Structure 1
Amino acid sequence: HGLYEFYLNGQKIGDEVLTPGWTTYYKRLQYQTFDVTKFLNTGPNAVGAMLGEGWYRNSWEHNWGYYGKKLAFLCQIHLRYTDGSEEWVVTDGSWKCSNEGPVRKNEIYYGEDYDARREMPGWSSAKFDDNRWRNVVVANFSKSNLVAANSVPVRKIQEIKPVRFFITPKGELVADMGQNMVGWVRLKVKGKKGRTVTLRHAEVLDKYGNFYTDNLRGAKQQIRYTLRGDKAGEVYEPRFTFMGFRYVAIEGYSGDLNTGDLIGVVVHSDMAPTGTFECSHPLVNQLQHNILWGQKGNFVDIPTDCPQRDERKGWTGDAQVFARTAAFNMDVAAFFAKWLQDLAAEQRPNGAVPFTVPDVSDMPDSVNIGVSAGWGDAAVIIPWTMYEVYGDRQLLERQYASMKAYVDYIHKKSGDSLIWKGGSIWGDWLFYHPPADHLNYFILPNAHTNHEFISTAFFAHGADLVSRAAAVLGKNEDAARYKDLFEKIKKVFVNEFITPSGRTISSASQTSYVLALHFNLMPEHLRTAAMNYLKQDILQKKKHLATGFLGTTYLCHVLSENGESELAYDLLLQETYPSWLYPVKMGATTIWERWDGIKTDSTFQDPGVNSFNHYAKGAIGDWMYQAVAGLRLGEPGYKKILIQPHLTTKLTYAKASFQSSYGEIASGWERSGDKITLRVSIPPN
């Protein structure tokens, strides 16, 4: 329980960090296995572990010790001797422990306090004198929740040197890493014994150039290192926490800082890179960079919403809107397979799916939890997306019961009306609407989307995907039943939410048209009219989007698939707020939670909801890869490939590559005068 580092004869075993990761602990607690043969000595050996709070004993919702109050460690070493005999070394009452070590405080939100004066050299070696240590307490925890680890290991992936050190107007010494990153810094320091160096972490500076942490809410994100006074210098990096930051404020450091004294250590799940994208527009290339770094920073064992404030949870809606983009950039098959097992474990007996997985917001046995359309739908959309990208029928089979249970839950909630009332708590989260003091406030109506419209649309989409999944798995009766359910919901949806002229009841909402068109809920004879209404709204807003989390994912797809590719390019290349490139122009190196996290006057949005590393709106990446570069899958797993770029005069070239299970696929085009060259690479098999 908690996090651990495992040592044998003074050496740390394995290169993983933040083990054993975060799962639905009371149902799934992962154990790891290592081959330790080369670390064994002839004669006496010593084994030990350092434990940290981790996700297990973090202060979730100000509820410290949500999963339990006691840290614990379970270990067994299986020895096979050359003479054929065997021996087991296990954790039992003969082990000893101490809480007098150098790690004085640690927590996911807080950071870590480390007092190097308390270090115990050789503590995990056979010669160490442990007379002052006490015997452990043998716990009686159930082992029924133990499962072999199937998570992608979290590792130290990359190192970054600061691009500059500077003094803020308030007199703070700050290092700029040049990139909003997730992990920690490795500190190299020399000084007097007992001196404490404090490192505080932030994503942005305020309009005056000062260190800004209001958007962290209750998270401290700080490191406090107390020197032992080694004249040769000391090197330290934390073990049991991580931070989201670009800037580091340094207090208590004596002497001059060099770039080698403070190294950024980038930490995330070790997923193989699979996709590349590039085009002739430098801001779009920076957007792709930001999408990729947003994924790195938020794929730390689970897909989190953000990596810095007092949240860092597995928000289901964020994960489902971004899953397709994520699967292009990196191999996320195993990453999502593990997380989906926790989603199914958290799913209530009635089929309800909580907002976050793992769920630390509600009592684990409660069925009366909040469920929101577009969030709970991760149970259906992500398994189907993984099947499409990787062709993995086994994952689809394993998650099928969860997919069905969620759609059946909505069906029961909707009753005979088939309208899911009260099913959209979050709506189209963080959609655009002009501020009250904006000149156009009374001209441009609020882009709010009716919540029953959203929930019923996702109900229909879920039924459609379950029908398709059933067909793939040979469950023909289910396929027919959920297809029929989809058609019935569609009929009700049209009667309730679509006018005879093709308008939606949320006519000022781009998202309403996007969902109706993308989910095939708009009657065929009204699709052209609906597209015209969507186009008119975008043009009325001077070629700006107004979508939130749910609509943004599909917006450009709907435009390009219905003859409006140029308008989709206008949205992609728009540089003023609200747009994808506005944050890029404002210096973003990751995707922001809000379209205007930093306003045009350089002030900030509401600090309570203002992350600067929040990948959801980076879902535009999927359209860039498929439509701009033209690299599309024709059949699940890229067994068949479509090369179908939507050409434009707004770019001179675009290209993308993807490492599929069949080999590398590449698509790229280049314009030179009135000539267009298309270059394609297809795996031979």
Structure 2
Amino acid sequence: MFCYYILVVACIAANSASRLPTAPYDIRVDHYKVDTTKDLIINTARPRFSWKIAMLETERNVLQVAYQLQIKSRNDQWDSKQVMSSHSIHVSYMGFDDLQSATFYQFRLRIWTTQSNQTSPWTNWIHFRTFMFNIHSYILSKNDSLMWIGSNQINMNELRKEFQISNSSPIQSAVVYISGLGYYELYVNGDKVDISRKLDPGWTVYEKRTLLVSFDLSATIKSGMNAVGVRLGNGWYGQEQYTPPVAPEPNYGPPRFIFFLQILFDNGEEMHVYSDSTWIGRQNSILHDSIYNGEFVDSRNDRLNWSRVGFTDLLSLWIPAELMSSPINESLHGQVVMQDMPPIRAGSDALHFEVTSTLIGGYLSANDIGHIQGAMLTDGGILKPIAVWSPTIGVQVFDLAQNMAGWCRFRFYGARGVGVYIRHGEILTPSIATTNRSYGEVYTENLLGATQSDTYVLHGDPAGEIYEPTFTYHGFRYVSIINAPNSMTVDDVECLVVHSETTLKGHFISSNPIINQIQHNIQWSQLNNLMSLPTDCPQREERKGWLGDAALTVNEALYNFDLIKLYINFLHSIVNTQGTDGAVPDTVPFSDGDFPADPNWGTALPTIAWQLYRHYNDVQILSSFYSNIRLYVESVYNAYKSTGLANLFYSYGDWVPPAPQPRANESLTSSFAFMHDISLLINMSQILGYTNDTHNYMELYQQLAEEFHRVFFNSTSHFYADGTQTSQILALALPNVVPSNIRSLVLEHLVSDITQKNNHVATGIIGTAQLYPLLSDNGYHDLALELISSITYPSYGYMSNNPYENATALWEIWNAPFEGPEMNSRNHIMYGSIGAWFYSHLAGIEFTSNTIVIRPRMASESKKHLLRKVDCQLSTLHGLVHVAYTRDEPDLVSNSIRFRLTIPANTQARVIFEPLFSGARCVRLIEGNEVIWPIDPKLLTERHNIENEVETGVMIVYINSGQYEYQVYWE
């Protein structure tokens, strides 16, 4: 079959049209996008490069045939020469010598393709530098001059040092390495380094792995006197953020930082500036900071120019810094390592775009899409209030119209010493839950122990003064200002959206307004819960790295956002918490939940690794974490040996099904996760060539499959376990568990239960994640569309269509307005799993190792009103995949579709058209203006590589890159 592609390449190479070639674009180095990374730092001596190949709208079958890569430093240069290869992702540097540590480099690239007689132009020289590869050893070797510093005596959260550069030789480079725990901000010669970078460094298991950040200060450090300043915050290093006795409280202490500045001169000499006892510090205007409880800021303690040369302060006591212990536990083999993921950012720098909200050649109009509640991701990362009111004297409430994570920037006018109190909440009082507060105030009872409040004391600037938090963040839609000295307007408030820096790579929109709102809520909830690790919620006394939430939503997250670096870092944190027996906890870093984890939580380790491999086709991820994944699976296997599947351990099971529905059989739910992970381990071992593991785990899986059916199946009633929807869903979702002769009976029981509940789900987070793909893949796609289109309780649509509150992010529980404050987040991501189904089934975009699969599931003619049109963009490592279809074009008859498709250069695709109703057969397939099915077999050419599956009626078309438009008619 695939000889077709070889023929095409040969034909085009021989007869290529001469056109102006285009340089490769959207280049990545070790997964970092060079276009959006401010200071490109690589932590390996053998980096890998990826790029995309430009293609004109009219071009097809564009393939790379060769590339050339050049890398140079100040003293060396390497040239790959022309490499005959079609590879354009994860292309390794193959130089004879490794790249050097802590060195500045440049590279450029050009390619040859089948569409041009000429080579492409070179890209511009792209700058990057390498990290100090031996940084941990270096820090240990300097233990008498390079120290963690801070204070055990006072809240020393502002430190400074001046130093002189007397070397007459020009400065070649100045690079700083810094880590401040819990958070830090770095200032040099009066200015903050990297203004939008916030809440740095990322939260990790500090005693095992503390993250170090590097900045290039070559343009900032100058000859003569210089000054550096560091501000510190408690962050997750503060004791206040932990809630024993659920999890053991880490033995952390006051904030501290480590700092190393390396200055190189053209004459070859070096100068170093370290963190040591020559630094001086004080307590600044932030009198207290807490992630949960906000900040108390007295701006009268601000000192202008505190990080500039020559600063003097007659009003504060600056004292020498103390040497502090390292957070690293050497006995646990802890290390200081590079923060190898994008930072948390605020505002417009936090989110980049590879896709657009503009419809590109699809069939949708604005009227099809409908109104979407909330702010758009394209609004620039800074939201303005849409309304303000005063529910009581001295209180003003602002509505941002969007449930978000971050903070607000306020402008105050008032006298020196006036204090303003700021509160944040997701909803207003009164809700259905009882409350003693006045109507229209911010509701805070669901925040549990977190206050989410900031206090600001004015310094009395007649021209007005600006306040925004530094070392905290909030989850909110509404902001309450109490005791403002001036009556504030919406122009006095703007709120910065804050999350780990990422790129929007997926855009899904349809003619179903309910689905569109759900997609909006998913994307916002996902962004709101990216805070250097995937969290569960951004508002209450929690915000933890719950593994269950992370495992359930990673597939959705990777369809929507470019998050490979964040998830790799999280995998390292999971491994850092892993016990010697292989077990992992429910949260990482371990701060809540159980240890060992519920199997549907612990599955995050294999599931995240597997989904990263699927979306990025990077085998390195599997090989890096395989041994830990195997060890984890063995830990569950060891527990199973004592219990069997019938009593396999659990903590949460199918968490929070809609009231009053019970949770499904917990042991069946845990058994599902256990067997799911074994199946992933089998896949990984096959890819990596570990044949013994493949054989052994296949045998184990088969034994477990037989046991699962024997233990949980009720042969009288023909359902599994308790008959709940989730029990049937999970049994059916596992491969080779339900015997083929009873599969239809189990499906019928599931569907009957759904229809008896008036087409509503009764599933918690585990069952819901598997339900929609299961229905779509087994002949019940119409039912799946009816479920997702529902706006009555319980449903996704109900969250945004009810008389009480209209969600702009996902709820934690299906009936949030009716529950009390306990466990009632309105900005939770765990039900976001449905978002993957939008891409994988409604648009039909799936991945294999080297082929894009396009297989949209279509509603039948009687249900096509549920989903008449879809428009989906997905930016892959190769380029943009665009899928659009319509059932409503004027010239289309019943049971027909029009379908537009873009496949990026250097790829191939398998396009699968499913019959629009049972027993249907394709009677005509048109591409462009040409009938390509049916066609006389004698006329079949390389352009018409089509399969007709007679038994199923499925039509399959094999294509290479390009833009296509199909019309498909069924009878």
Query: Is the structural similarity TM-score above 0.5?
Result: yes
Give the equivalent residue in structure 1 for 2:187: 7
- 8 Å CA contact 1:430–1:549 kept in 2: the answer is yes
How far off is 1:204 after superposition? 0.5
Which amino acid is the alignment partner of residue 456 of structure 1? Answer: S
**Aligned counterpart for 2:857 among listed residues 624, 634, 645:** 645
Distance 1:58 1:613, change over 3 A: farther
Give the equivalent residue in structure 2 for 1:299: 530
How far off is 1:344 after superposition? 0.8
Give the equivalent residue in structure 1 for 2:203: 22
Give 1 or 2: higher strand fraction: 2
Distance 1:425 1:417, change over 3 A: closer
Distance 1:212 1:335, change over 3 A: same
Give the equivalent residue in structure 1 for 2:382: 159
Give the equivalent residue in structure 2 for 1:680: 901
Pairing of 1:325-336 with structure 2 (within 5 A): 325-336=556-567
- 8 Å CA contact 1:502–1:529 kept in 2: the answer is no
Q: For the residues of structure 1 that align with 2:851 and 2:395, how far apart are their CA atoms? A: 56
How far off is 1:416 after superposition? 6.7
Q: For the residues of structure 2 that align with 1:677 and 1:575, how far apart are their CA atoms? A: 29
Distance 1:150 1:532, change over 3 A: same
- 8 Å CA contact 1:418–1:489 kept in 2: the answer is no
Distance 1:171 1:135, change over 3 A: closer
**Aligned counterpart for 1:147 among listed residues 320, 337, 351:** 337
Name which of structure 1's ranges 208-217 and 235-244 shifts more when overlaid on structure 2: 208-217
Give the equivalent residue in structure 2 for 1:338: 569
Which amino acid is the alignment partner of residue 17 of structure 1? Answer: K
**Aligned counterpart for 1:595 among listed residues 798, 810, 814:** 814
Q: For the residues of structure 1 that align with 2:841 and 2:716, how far apart are their CA atoms? A: 30
- 1:376 equivalent to 2:561? Answer no
**Aligned counterpart for 2:319 among listed residues 134, 138, 161:** 134
- Report the 3-state secondary structure (helix = DSSP H, G, I; strand = E; otherwise coil) of the residue aligned with 2:669: helix
- 8 Å CA contact 1:352–1:371 kept in 2: the answer is yes
Give the equivalent residue in structure 2 for 1:203: 426
* TM-score normalised by L of structure 2: 0.66
Q: For the residues of structure 1 that align with 2:873 and 2:528, how far apart are their CA atoms? A: 22
Unaligned runs of 5+ in 1: 363-367, 435-445, 600-604
How far off is 1:184 after superposition? 0.3
- 1:608 equivalent to 2:831? Answer no
- 1:460 equivalent to 2:675? Answer yes
Give the equivalent residue in structure 2 for 1:548: 764
Which amino acid is the alignment partner of residue 152 of structure 1? Answer: P
- 8 Å CA contact 2:728–2:747 kept in 1: the answer is yes
Pairing of 1:664-679 with structure 2 (within 5 A): 664-672=880-888, 674=894, 675-679=896-900
- 8 Å CA contact 2:646–2:712 kept in 1: the answer is no
Which amino acid is the alignment partner of residue 857 of structure 2? Answer: P
Name which of structure 1's ranges 414-423 and 566-575 shifts more when overlaid on structure 2: 414-423
Give the equivalent residue in structure 2 for 1:184: 407
Which amino acid is the alignment partner of residue 382 of structure 2? Answer: E
- 8 Å CA contact 1:6–1:50 kept in 2: the answer is yes
How far off is 1:407 after superposition? 0.9
* TM-score normalised by L of structure 1: 0.94
Give 1 or 2: higher helix fraction: 1
- Report the 3-state secondary structure (helix = DSSP H, G, I; strand = E; otherwise coil) of the residue aligned with 2:686: helix
Max Rg structure = 2
- 8 Å CA contact 2:394–2:484 kept in 1: the answer is no
Please list the CA deviations of residues 163-194 of structure 1 after superposition, one character each: whole Å capped at 9, or x if unmatched: 11012378741000010000000111111000
Unaligned runs of 5+ in 2: 1-180, 329-333, 351-380, 432-438, 907-971
How far off is 1:140 after superposition? 3.6
- 8 Å CA contact 1:669–1:678 kept in 2: the answer is yes
Which amino acid is the alignment partner of residue 205 of structure 1? Answer: L
Pairing of 1:247-646 with structure 2 (within 5 A): 247-361=478-592, 369-415=595-641, 418-419=644-645, 421-434=647-660, 446-500=661-715, 503-520=718-735, 521-586=737-802, 587-599=806-818, 605-633=819-847, 635-636=848-849, 639-646=851-858
- Report the 3-state secondary structure (helix = DSSP H, G, I; strand = E; otherwise coil) of the residue aligned with 1:176: strand
Q: For the residues of structure 2 that align with 1:142 and 1:340, how far apart are their CA atoms? A: 20
Give the equivalent residue in structure 2 for 1:125: 308
- 1:227 equivalent to 2:447? Answer no
Give the equivalent residue in structure 1 for 2:268: 84
Q: For the residues of structure 2 that align with 1:502 and 1:316, how far apart are their CA atoms? A: 35
Q: For the residues of structure 2 that align with 1:130 and 1:234, how far apart are their CA atoms? A: 21
Which amino acid is the alignment partner of residue 398 of structure 2? Answer: A
Distance 1:69 1:142, change over 3 A: closer
Name which of structure 1's ranges 624-633 and 346-355 shifts more when overlaid on structure 2: 624-633
Which amino acid is the alignment partner of residue 204 of structure 1? Answer: I
Q: For the residues of structure 2 that align with 1:544 and 1:168, how far apart are their CA atoms? A: 38
- Report the 3-state secondary structure (helix = DSSP H, G, I; strand = E; otherwise coil) of the residue aligned with 1:34: strand
Give the equivalent residue in structure 2 for 1:36: 217
Q: For the residues of structure 2 that align with 1:76 and 1:416, how far apart are their CA atoms? A: 52
Q: For the residues of structure 1 that align with 2:419 and 2:386, how far apart are their CA atoms? A: 24
Distance 1:349 1:268, change over 3 A: same
Q: For the residues of structure 2 that align with 1:502 and 1:351, how far apart are their CA atoms? A: 39
Which amino acid is the alignment partner of residue 486 of structure 2? Answer: G
Which amino acid is the alignment partner of residue 643 of structure 1? Answer: R
- Report the 3-state secondary structure (helix = DSSP H, G, I; strand = E; otherwise coil) of the residue aligned with 1:408: helix
